[in-house]
Chain A
Amino acid sequence: MEWADFAELLIAAVSLGSIYALMALGLVLVFGILRLINFAYGEFIMIGGYAMWWLQRLEFGIPWGFVALFAVVVAIVTALALERVAFRQVRASHGPPINLLLTSFACSAVLQSLVMVLISPRSKGILYPPLVSADLTLGPLRIAAFDIMAIIVGGISLVGLTILLRKTFLGICLRAAADDFTMTRLLGVQADRVIAAAFAISGALAGISSVLYFARIGLVRPDTGLGPVIIAFFATVVGGIESLAGAVVGGFLLGFLTIGLQVVLPTSLLAYRDAFTFLIVIIVLLFRPQGLVPGRHIREVR
């Protein structure tokens, strides 16, 4: 393989990895505090896609930055609304943690069927500026402008999230709550607020990744959320569900795996690519059940 081909693949993998890392981070933030694998997370991304479609249909030629911002805002609002209406009520009833999982399932089903009934079961196209689909030529390299955009947006979001978590009061509360929720509450941090904040940030990350994700696929359907949520799950589990760094590692690993298998696998086996990806995931889990980046204290979650 030419080094240029290799560099192009590397950039594609990094770009895909940064989208996956963003998705995984949104999931792991809520998991860290609530111990909840939020199945409805994919629906935040789906709703973000529909928000873009709706705004573009409403008014043709609306500035694209505004469309992207709108997607993020709608995803945040959806996340906050679900937390308030569903998750908080279930949490208050003091059932076993598995009830929260069922709630996230139910929320996901409700959002999907609402979209299906109120909008349409068929896919809707989302417009992106022509620059996104352009190819840039850099010496011998041909790079999709989209990949550059994904890497930049992903990088900025990662840095932003790190600053938020390390330097602000809210971020310190969030990290403390993920570490030991009971202790954090004893120290006077309001549980409902921390959890709502975690959902809001999770929604924001879902919104940002929806802008990037739909630039790749261009269409949004009621069941679009399933793909991202599965990716995010496996990235978090493989990376280490106890740690934020793990989510990033898992996201990039999955991105590299997806691109790598596409190149390595012979055409006859390409249809089985997802099966291979998840087989590798199982193998990683068998040898590192705590993930590649284990949390500081290993706590079993049932």
Chain B
Amino acid sequence: MNSRVAQLLGRLPWAGNALMLIVPLLAVAVAIDLYDDLMLERILIGMFINLVLVVGLQLFSGNSGLLSFGHISFMAIGAYASVLLIMSPAKKVYTLPDLTGPLSQIEMPFIPGILLAAAFTAVIAAFIGWPLMRLSGSAATMATFALLIITHVILINAATYTRGTRTMYGLENYTTLWMSAFWAVLIIITGFVFKESRVGLMLRASREQQEAASVMGVNIVIVRWVAWVVSAFICALGGALWAHFMMVISPYTMYMHTTFLTVAMFIVGGTGSVSGAVAGTIAITGLFEALRAMEIRISAFRIAGQTAAGFTEVWLGVAMILLVVLRPMGLAMGQEIRLPARLRGRLEARTPESEG
């Protein structure tokens, strides 16, 4: 058994790192499932969905070095597309009365529905990304930011499909604890697989030295584009999961604030690694929930006649600044979390072909 694990580690050098992330996450999920506290369960589901989004963002931004503000638009497109595919025609009559044609009749099961929604989003991203991936630096960041605004305006105005400014309701709660945990784990593994893949390696080379990578035969536009499409697929999945967790969505809930939070998680964790994305998500989610719990306690007492409501965001902002001052290279410092040395040593000793 151990030697088989060791063989796996020899062939997939990142498997140990991924295990170090996945095992504790699943352990927490089991604990919360057994403890059976609805509030904690919802926090954890929210965190797993954020993991999907932030690891998706890291897959593009972390490997390419191009900061994207546009990924939440993929989340929004994925969320709305999944609702259109999954909601029953009987409900659509009420929520989307103007909808006609095959979309009003279709009703897909949850998992095929979110996969198709994500694939649809990835196709859109493929078209947008083709010209966009030629840009670098602040021009790229600004163009993705423009994309976020354009998507928002379109979602608000395409009322036939989205109910426009009004909230979309009537969604089923499909995103259970284990559903979200499953996707979070799968996406973390995807993050590692992509990072170590041929394309991922070329993309990281282009991040470090654009000209050198280019001279070595890396087609920068294409490798960036592949990462862009894959990460759009992942963020759309995150959006679809989120929609069927919240059960109500509106274009405003997937806009600036969500962009700010996911980008903050990405940066606080350290941009260069999957572990960073995971650490940042856990840290910011933990901080946010702890602050909110404190706020509820404090406002129950009404200190000096003033409620403390709303201060969560203030403290969260202060905490983020403190985090980047104290850990300027990010929580994970650009490294991947590694198996404890003792365990690694024991496993590697049993692998004949391990290179250490």
Please state if B146 and A281 are interface contacts (CB–CB under 8 Å). Answer: yes
Q: What CA separation (Å) do A164 and B256 show in the bound complex?
A: 36
Residue of A94, A106, A110 with highest tally of chain B CB at under 10 A: A106
Which residue of chain B has its CB nearest to the CB of A290?
A: B139
CB distance from B307 to the nearest CB of A (A): 9
Residue B138 at the chain A interface, CB threshold 8 Å: yes
Which residue of chain B has its CB nearest to the CB of A103?
A: B321
Which residues from 255 to 279 on chain B have a C-beta closer than 8 Å to any C-beta of chain A? 256, 260, 263-264, 267-268, 271
Q: What CA separation (Å) do A90 and B326 show in the bound complex?
A: 9
Please state if B153 and A90 are interface contacts (CB–CB under 8 Å). Answer: no
Please state if A271 and B264 are interface contacts (CB–CB under 8 Å). Answer: no
Which residue of chain B has its CB nearest to the CB of A291?
A: B139
Given the complex, which residues of B lie within 8 Å of A300, measured CB to CB? 136-137, 210
Please state if B264 and A106 are interface contacts (CB–CB under 8 Å). Answer: yes
Residue of B67, B137, B329 with highest tally of chain A CB at under 10 A: B137
Residue A131 at the chain B interface, CB threshold 8 Å: no
Q: What CA separation (Å) do A275 and B149 show in the bound complex?
A: 7
Please state if A93 and B324 are interface contacts (CB–CB under 8 Å). Answer: yes
| Contact flag A113-B324 (CB < 8 Å), given A99-B267, A286-B135, A301-B137 | no
CB distance from B295 to the nearest CB of A (A): 11
Residue B112 at the chain A interface, CB threshold 8 Å: no
Contact partner, B320, options A98, A106, A301, Cβ 8 Å: A106
Given the complex, which residues of B lie within 8 Å of A116, measured CB to CB? 310
Name the prevailing secondary structure of the A interface residues: helix
Write the B14-55 contact mask toward A (1 if CB under 8 angstroms, else 0).
000000000000000000000000000000000000000000
| Contact flag A113-B311 (CB < 8 Å), given A90-B321, A272-B157, A289-B135 | yes
Please state if B317 and A106 are interface contacts (CB–CB under 8 Å). Answer: yes
Residue A77 at the chain B interface, CB threshold 8 Å: no
Given the complex, which residues of B lie within 8 Å of A107, measured CB to CB? 317, 321
Write the A93-108 contact mask toward B (1 if CB under 8 angstroms, else 0).
1111011011101110
Write the B142-180 contact mask toward A (1 if CB under 8 angstroms, else 0).
110111011001101100000000000000000000000
Please state if B260 and A105 are interface contacts (CB–CB under 8 Å). Answer: yes
CB distance from A108 to the nearest CB of B (A): 8
Interface size for B (C-beta < 8 A) is 47
CB distance from A126 to the nearest CB of B (A): 23
| Contact flag A90-B325 (CB < 8 Å), given A96-B271, A102-B320, A233-B145 | yes
Contact partner, B150, options A94, A112, A226, A279, Cβ 8 Å: A279
Q: What CA separation (Å) do A234 and B139 show in the bound complex?
A: 10
Please state if B328 and A93 are interface contacts (CB–CB under 8 Å). Answer: yes
Contact partner, A275, options B139, B154, B260, B263, Cβ 8 Å: B154
Please state if A103 and B324 are interface contacts (CB–CB under 8 Å). Answer: yes
Which residue of chain B has its CB nearest to the CB of A100?
A: B324
| Contact flag A98-B271 (CB < 8 Å), given A241-B138, A272-B153, A282-B147 | yes
Contact partner, B153, options A94, A234, A275, Cβ 8 Å: A275
Residue B302 at the chain A interface, CB threshold 8 Å: no
Residue B88 at the chain A interface, CB threshold 8 Å: no
Q: What CA separation (Å) do A274 and B152 show in the bound complex?
A: 10
Residue B216 at the chain A interface, CB threshold 8 Å: no
Please state if A114 and B314 are interface contacts (CB–CB under 8 Å). Answer: yes
Please state if B324 and A99 are interface contacts (CB–CB under 8 Å). Answer: yes
Which residue of chain A has its CB nearest to the CB of B256?
A: A226
Given the complex, which residues of A lie within 8 Å of B150, measured CB to CB? 274-275, 278-279, 282
Residue B356 at the chain A interface, CB threshold 8 Å: no
Interface size for A (C-beta < 8 A) is 46
Residue B354 at the chain A interface, CB threshold 8 Å: no
Contact partner, B138, options A37, A92, A272, A281, Cβ 8 Å: A37
Please state if A86 and B137 are interface contacts (CB–CB under 8 Å). Answer: no
Residue B226 at the chain A interface, CB threshold 8 Å: no
CB distance from B28 to the nearest CB of A (A): 26
Residue A161 at the chain B interface, CB threshold 8 Å: no
CB distance from B110 to the nearest CB of A (A): 31
Q: What CA separation (Å) do A86 and B319 show in the bound complex?
A: 11
| Contact flag A102-B135 (CB < 8 Å), given A116-B310, A226-B256, A275-B153 | no
Which residues from 236 to 268 on chain A have a C-beta closer than 8 Å to any C-beta of chain B? 237, 241
Please state if A95 and B314 are interface contacts (CB–CB under 8 Å). Answer: no
Residue of B131, B267, B324, B328 with highest tally of chain A CB at under 10 A: B324
Residue B65 at the chain A interface, CB threshold 8 Å: yes
Which residue of chain A has its CB nearest to the CB of B334?
A: A96
Residue B134 at the chain A interface, CB threshold 8 Å: yes
Residue B309 at the chain A interface, CB threshold 8 Å: yes
Please state if B267 and A102 are interface contacts (CB–CB under 8 Å). Answer: yes
CB distance from B98 to the nearest CB of A (A): 15
Write the A182-213 contact mask toward B (1 if CB under 8 angstroms, else 0).
00000000000000000000000000000000
Contact partner, B142, options A89, A98, A106, A233, Cβ 8 Å: A233
Please state if A110 and B139 are interface contacts (CB–CB under 8 Å). Answer: no
Given the complex, which residues of A lie within 8 Å of B146, measured CB to CB? 234, 278-279, 281-282, 285
CB distance from A281 to the nearest CB of B (A): 5
Known: A90-B325, A96-B328. 6 other contacts (CB 8 A): A105-B264, A116-B310, A271-B157, A285-B143, A286-B131, A289-B134
Top 4 A-B residue pairs of the complex, sorted by shortest distance between their CB atoms: A95-B328, A113-B313, A110-B317, A117-B310
User: 24 pairs across A/B with beta carbons < 8 Å?
Assistant: A98-B271, A105-B260, A105-B264, A106-B320, A106-B321, A112-B313, A113-B312, A117-B309, A226-B256, A233-B145, A234-B142, A234-B146, A237-B139, A274-B150, A279-B146, A281-B142, A282-B132, A282-B150, A286-B135, A289-B136, A291-B139, A300-B136, A300-B137, A302-B136
Chain B positions within 8 Å of A, measured between CB atoms, are 65-67, 131-132, 134-139, 141-143, 145-147, 149-150, 153-154, 156-157, 210, 256, 260, 263-264, 267-268, 271, 309-314, 316-318, 320-321, 324-326, 328-329
